[in-house]
Structure 1
Amino acid sequence: MTKKKYAMLGCGMMGQEHLRNIALLPEIEVAAIYEPDDAMRAKSHALAPGATLAPSIDALLALPELDALVITSPNHCHTAQLETIFAARKIPVLVEKPVATHLSEVARLRTLAHTMAAPVWTAMEYRYMPAITRFVHEAHSAQATGSAVMLSIREHRYPFLHKVGDWNRFNRNTGGTLVEKCCHFFDLMRLVMGDNPVRLFASGGHNHNHLDERYGGEQPDILDNAFVVLDFPGQRRALLDLCMFAEGSRYQEEISLVGPVGKLECKVPGPSRFWPGEQRGEQPVAQLTVSPRNGAPPSVLEVPVDPALLAAGDHNGSTFYQHQKFLDVVCGRGAVEVSLHDGIAAVVIGLAAEHSAATGAVVDLTQGPWQLAP
């Protein structure tokens, strides 16, 4: 079997999760890595010892045998790196979210999206958590709920982890918490509701996390909690409830969808490595619950994940399933499921939410700088 040769652009914490999951797919070989940090380069090379360590992005792109690129660099690098890649060659790319951190980058990516000569897959891992995949399937079938009217996504989790150079402590590098962390959820909202939101209002704060940290004399400015309310066409709505100092939660994600027929709920635990263990007993398994309005009892389905996949990353097995599907694109046997346009829309919603939280303004998503249509 001839393996597809992948290159990794950036290989910190998230890049290493990608490496561990790629290693579970026998059709792929990681052939090259560009990682400028010495410690992260050593860790990533230990996971992919056969990979060439490229000294620069240009050197990486000059390698002739590559079949695909995976971008897992810091957020603020993504737009320029996509531009550099497609100026140099035609190659499929999987790029971690968010694809941009500022509206100026959004404009550049919209231009790129119309001219790029190869597929781009935006990495939205939450779509591929097995329980959430089932949730989306049930939502689209409409048998459990009927037409989707009210969607609620709650993520109560641990604070942001430390990254190389602590780049994730500042809005200028991340786009803000509602971009960095929550573009996943705005993507899910668009997927479940089958449409773009038309307006939003956000309230957020920096109440607890990182207040005693200083980097070059600066205090981190990222939000650690927020509510975001989004209106969708047809008098439908969605709510995001985020708390980044709730690591004691039994489930990290709790998603509900209500329609005229019933209610659909999904609960997903956080990463296994952060579960307190003996203190709280065995970690729960993800669940999917259907609660009809007709008086029938709720049905509860457990959705377990292969322990090998749980051990390979922090996203409930989703990174593996996402790479399976991206491999189909690389091999010419499948289509991109999360496009660059999808990634851009999720960023615009997140940036609009950050703006609303900072100013108190309701943001119209149908016109002006926040318009979602490409």
Structure 2
Amino acid sequence: MNLCGRRVKRLRIGFIGCGGIASEHARRLASIREAELVAFSDVRLERAKALSAKYGGRAYADWREMLNKEPLDVVFICLPPFAHGDEVIIAAERGVHIYIEKPIALDMKLAEEMVRAVEKSGVKSQVGYQLRFAAGVERAKKLVEEGVVGDIGLVVGMYWCRFIRRDWWLDRRKSGGQLVEQATHLYDILRWLCGDVKRVYAEMDRIFYRDLKEMTIEDVSGVVLRFKSGAIGLVSSTIGAVPGFWWFRWSIIGRDAMLECEEPNSLRVYYSSHKPLRIEEFREVGRDPMLLAELDLINAIIEDRETRVPISEGAKTLQLTLAAVRAAETGKPVTLN
């Protein structure tokens, strides 16, 4: 393919983990001319074979064997949180670029080892916080950086759904809970838009699913954030809301404007310092943030630049969500380093 006036090779891509999210990535990557799907690995070999049969390439039951045998350029790590181990470290040591699904780990020790390995090797990395590529989020980022919003004072977010799955997700030791595994998308967006958090306090409980004895995760949570900028944040999450509806919403109140997002590809801007008050509606229909996140990694490799969500950013969002869980467990505010 000719890109930016020069000939580039197709990037050879392999997968570690071939479940549902891997299928979503593979479907999109198959449409990208710079990408070539060459290998799939999963402990359940039949899943690797299914993707191999659909997209080509070889199937493996052992990802280490795949890395030994395949000259990969990129590896997509699509594992459940509890299954993360040394995949990132070994891939980085081999010079293989990395796309890893969130959360990148369930403890900061492993997350920090991942960050060190990636930064030492110089490979590109992208974490699956693809909503940073949503149109409404991008628009908000631009307005914040240009100073249109002014000093931010209050940030409010909600992640409400009716969602339950009877597998590893119910076990906090394996998933981290709703806040760490699912609502983490919302925390990442608020971090990206409003800056890092210095202190967090939280309450969480299991109220709606008390009959599920095997369930150890929360089904409701409320979190108070104190951003380093001085802004205050309030975030609520639940998996006990209305069936068939998925509320992923946030608002940012600044001195000069308020931003309101009711779905990631749209944004409403209230220019509160204007007289008369002006309200702007922004919406982009059909944008695919996951595809854009994949393209960002591929172009970062080709152009030798940074990605939008390098693994260091994934570690920072993990640190925030783990701190919120720890605050809820201890009943005390937690200060982040």
TM-score (norm 2): 0.89
SS in 1 for 2:113: helix
Q: Deviation per CA, 1:238-265, whole angstroms, max 9, x where unpaired?
A: 2212121224476621111111112111
Q: Choose from 267, 272, 280 the match for 1:299.
A: 280
Corresponding residue of 2:6: none
Q: Choose from 105, 126, 133 the match for 1:128.
A: 133
Structure 1, unmatched stretches of 5+, are 270-285, 307-316, 366-370
2:326 is aligned with 1:327 = no
CA-CA distance at 1:302 after TM superposition: 2.6
SS in 2 for 1:25: coil
Corresponding residue of 2:314: 343
CA-CA distance at 1:35 after TM superposition: 1.2
Corresponding residue of 2:190: 189
Decide whether the 8 Å contact of 1:202 with 1:356 is kept in 2.
yes
Corresponding residue of 1:252: 247
2:59 is aligned with 1:53 = yes
CA distance in 2, matches of 1:13, 1:342: 24
SS in 2 for 1:346: helix
Q: Choose from 99, 104, 123 the match for 1:99.
A: 104
CA-CA distance at 1:222 after TM superposition: 1.1
CA distance in 1, matches of 2:24, 2:262: 23
CA distance in 2, matches of 1:363, 1:146: 28
2:44 is aligned with 1:37 = yes
CA distance in 1, matches of 2:285, 2:87: 37
Q: Deviation per CA, 1:30-89, whole angstroms, max 9, x where unpaired?
A: 1000012255335433542x12102311211013432111100111233422123234x1
SS in 1 for 2:324: helix
CA distance in 2, matches of 1:345, 1:233: 14
CA-CA distance at 1:288 after TM superposition: 1.3
CA RMSD of aligned residues (A): 2.2
Corresponding residue of 2:30: 23
Decide whether the 8 Å contact of 1:20 with 1:47 is kept in 2.
no
CA distance in 2, matches of 1:93, 1:326: 9
CA-CA distance at 1:231 after TM superposition: 0.4
Decide whether the 8 Å contact of 1:226 with 1:241 is kept in 2.
yes
CA-CA distance at 1:136 after TM superposition: 2.1
Decide whether the 8 Å contact of 2:256 with 2:271 is kept in 1.
yes
2:161 is aligned with 1:157 = yes
Query: Which stretch shows the higher mean deviation, 76-85 or 237-246?
Result: 76-85
Note closer, same or farther for the CA distance 1:43–1:213 as it changes in structure 2 (3 Å cut).
farther
Corresponding residue of 1:204: 204
Amino acid at match of 1:288: L
Corresponding residue of 2:329: 358
Greater strand content: 2
Q: Deviation per CA, 1:146-178, whole angstroms, max 9, x where unpaired?
A: 22222222111231445xxx2222111122322
SS in 2 for 1:198: strand
Q: Deviation per CA, 1:315-365, whole angstroms, max 9, x where unpaired?
A: xx2110101101102223542221221111111111111111122111011
CA-CA distance at 1:116 after TM superposition: 3.1
CA distance in 2, matches of 1:229, 1:193: 14
Amino acid at match of 1:72: C
Decide whether the 8 Å contact of 1:155 with 1:254 is kept in 2.
yes
CA distance in 2, matches of 1:259, 1:178: 26
Note closer, same or farther for the CA distance 1:359–1:47 as it changes in structure 2 (3 Å cut).
farther
| Matched positions, count | 328
Structure 2, unmatched stretches of 5+, are 2-8
CA distance in 2, matches of 1:137, 1:288: 12
Note closer, same or farther for the CA distance 1:232–1:72 as it changes in structure 2 (3 Å cut).
same
Decide whether the 8 Å contact of 1:135 with 1:265 is kept in 2.
no
SS in 2 for 1:357: helix
CA-CA distance at 1:110 after TM superposition: 4.7
SS in 2 for 1:298: strand
Q: Choose from 232, 235, 241 the match for 1:237.
A: 232
CA distance in 2, matches of 1:127, 1:354: 23
SS in 1 for 2:152: coil
